[in-house]
Structure 1
Amino acid sequence: MRDVVVIGGGAAGLSGAVTLARARRSVLVIDAGSPRNAPADGVHGLLGLEGVPPLDLLERGRAELVGYGGVVRTGRVVSAERDDDAFVVTLDDGTSERARRLLVATGLVDELPEIPGLRERWGHDVLHCPYCHGWEVRDQAIGVLGTSARSVHQALLFRQWTDDLVLFVNTSPDPTPEEAEQLAARGIRVVTGVVDEVLSTDGRLSGVRLVSGEVVARSALTVMPRFVARLDGLAGLGLVAVPHEMGVGEHAASDLMGASSVPGVWVAGNATDLMAQVTGAMAAGTRAAAALNMDLIAEDTALAVADLHRHREGHVQAIHSPGR
C-alpha cells in the first residue's frame, strides 16, 4: 500500500507528488493524459520558464518525480472509495491501487457556449484569461463574447490590452446605465444581438457572425466559460462539486491547506480553485502535500507510540510472569 495516490498529473498534482516524494513518501500519480491547457502554445507568467509548452512542462515534472522515486501511471480513475484504513482507487483497465491518503488534482472542465467554430479556436485565439494570454493578443481587434453578468467586467479587463475592443452582448444581460457609461468612457463598442458563428480564415479567427447576418471582424475573442471541477469516478468518496462562491461554476470545496470535507482526501489546483493559473496550481499542490505529509506524520507517530506502549506492557508482563 502506498502512502499517497495523486489523482491527476497536471501542475498541481505533479508539484504535490514531487513534494511528497522528496519527503520520502511512496507516491503514485494516476493521470489520464488530457491536460486542460494542452491546446495552448505556451504557459505564460511562469517565472523562469516563460512560454514553455504545456506538455513539455509536464514531461519535466514527471521526470523530476521519477528521479525522487515516484511513479506515474497512465489511466483514468473510474471509482474510489474508503476500505477500512485505506483508500482503493480503481482504474479503467480494471486494476486497483491502495493508499493511506489521496490528493485529488483532477482540474476542471471549461463549459463553453455551443456556438459553431468556437471550441475549435479555444486555447489559440479564443481565450478567457488576460494574464495568461493577453500579451499575445495585445493591440489586436478583440471581441468579448457575453455569456453572463460578468461580461462587462471581462470587457473592462481586456481593455487594458487593446484599444480596439467590442463587447458582443450575446446572451448576457444588457449593460446597466452605469455600465454603459463605463464602456463608453473606455471606448468599448457594444454590439447587441446573439452570436451565431465564430468565423475563421486560413486557420485563424477572423470574426463573428450574428443571427442577423451581420459580420464583425475580430482577430481574437474572449469568453468566460463556466468552470466545473472534474470529479468523475470520485462520488464513492463523498467528494462532490458545490457552487463556487464567486458564481463562476462548481468546485470541490477545501480549506486553505487543501483538506477536503472527506477525511484523508486533499484537493489542489483547479479542482478546488477554479481561477488558479499554473503558478497558483503549483503552489497549491505543494501546500496540500505538506499538510498531507504532516497528517501522515501524526498518524505514524501515534502508531509508533502505540507500539512502544505494547512493547513496554509486554516487557512488564514478562518480568512478572510465573516462574521468574
Structure 2
Amino acid sequence: MRDLPLAVIAEDQKAVHMAKLVSNWTDDLIVFTNGHQVISAEEKGFLNSAGITVNEKKIVSLTGKGGQLGKIQLEDQTEVLRDGGFIASEWIQAATFESDLGYHLNEQGGIETDSMQRTKTPGVFACGDTRIAGASQLIMAASEGSMAAIAVNAELLEEKFNGMQT
C-alpha cells in the first residue's frame, strides 16, 4: 500500500494518531470521521499542513473488488477513490472480570497486577487481555503469561519448601 491513495476511518481521537502513523506510508491520505467532529480546528490545521485531508462527512458505503478497497461513498453522493485504508476500531473487553476471587480492577476495567502478574489476592494471577482492558498485543500477552508462570512456579516452590530446613 506504500505510496497509494489511502484512508483512515476513525470516529474518535484516534483519528489524529492514526493519520500520523499512516502518513509514513503515503503522501495521499484522507482521514474520514464518518460524520463525527472529533478533530479540533488546530489539529485539522496541523494535518492539512502535513498534506493530510480531513473529511467529516458521513460514510454511506465502502466498495471494492477482491477484498481491496476501491472507493468510499459519502452521504452527499461524493465518491472518493482510495486503494486501501485503516479503520480505528473501539476495543471492548469481551469478558467482564468481576469475580468473587477478591482481586481489584484497574481504571481501564482490567485486573490489577504487580510486575509478576500477581493480583492482591494470594494465588490469583492475571496476564494479557485480562490485565488491561483495551488494545492488547499477542507478544505482550505471551510475555505476561511467561511472567505469571514464573511467579506461580516460585510460589509453589516456596509453599513446598516452606518450613523445611536447609
Q: TM-score when scaled to structure 1?
A: 0.44
Give, in angstroms, the shift of residue 228 of structure 1: 2.7
1:286 Cα shift?
Answer: 1.3
Tell me the amino acid that sits aligned with residue 83 of structure 2. S
User: Partners of 2:36 and 2:115 in 1: how far apart?
Assistant: 33
The alignment-based identity, stated in percent, is 26
Is 1:268 aligned to 2:127, yes or no?
Answer: yes
Could you say what secondary structure the match of 2:30 adopts? strand
Aligned to 1:186: 50
Q: Kindly indicate whether the alpha-carbon contact (under 8 Å) linking 1:254 and 1:272 is maintained by their aligned counterparts in 2.
A: yes
The residue number in structure 2 matching 1:152 is 16
Unaligned ranges ≥5, structure 1 = 1-136, 245-249, 310-324
Aligned residues: 164
- Find out whether 1:207 has 2:66 as its counterpart: no
**Mapped partners of 1:196, 1:241: distance in 2:** 39
1:173/1:275 Cα in 2 relative to 1: closer, same or farther (>3 Å)?
A: same
Structure 1 residues 187 and 286: alpha-carbon distance in aligned structure 2, compared to 1, 3 A threshold: same
How far 1:216 moved relative to its partner?
1.6
1:166 corresponds to: 30
Give the alignment partner of residue 80 of structure 2, picking from 194, 209, 216.
216
d(CA) in 1 for partners of 2:23, 2:10: 15
Larger RCO of the pair (alpha carbons < 8 Å, separation 6+): 1
1:164-313 correspondence runs (5 A): 164-231=28-95, 235-237=99-101, 243-244=107-108, 250-273=109-132, 274-302=134-162, 305=163
Partners in 2 of 1:202 and 1:263 — Cα distance? 53
Q: Cα gap change, 1:196/1:236 in structure 2, threshold over 3 Å: closer, same or farther?
A: farther
Question: How far apart, CA to CA, are the structure 1 residues paired with 2:14 and 2:85?
Answer: 15
**TM-score if structure 2 supplies the norm length?**
0.80
Aligned-pair distance for 1:152? 1.1
Give the alignment's Cα RMSD to 1 decimal: 2.7
Moved over 4 A (4+): 238-243
In structure 2, relative to structure 1, the CA distance for the partners of 1:233 and 1:243 (3 Å cut) is: closer
Output one character per residue of 1:115-145: Cα deviation in whole Å (capped at 9) or x when no partner.
xxxxxxxxxxxxxxxxxxxxxx332322111
State the alpha-carbon separation in 2 of the partners of residues 228 and 243 from structure 1.
14
Structure 2: which 5+ runs fail to align?
none
What secondary structure is seen at the aligned counterpart in 1 of 2:37? coil
Distance 1:169 1:162 in 2: 19
CA–CA separation in structure 1 for the residues paired with 2:73 and 2:140: 36
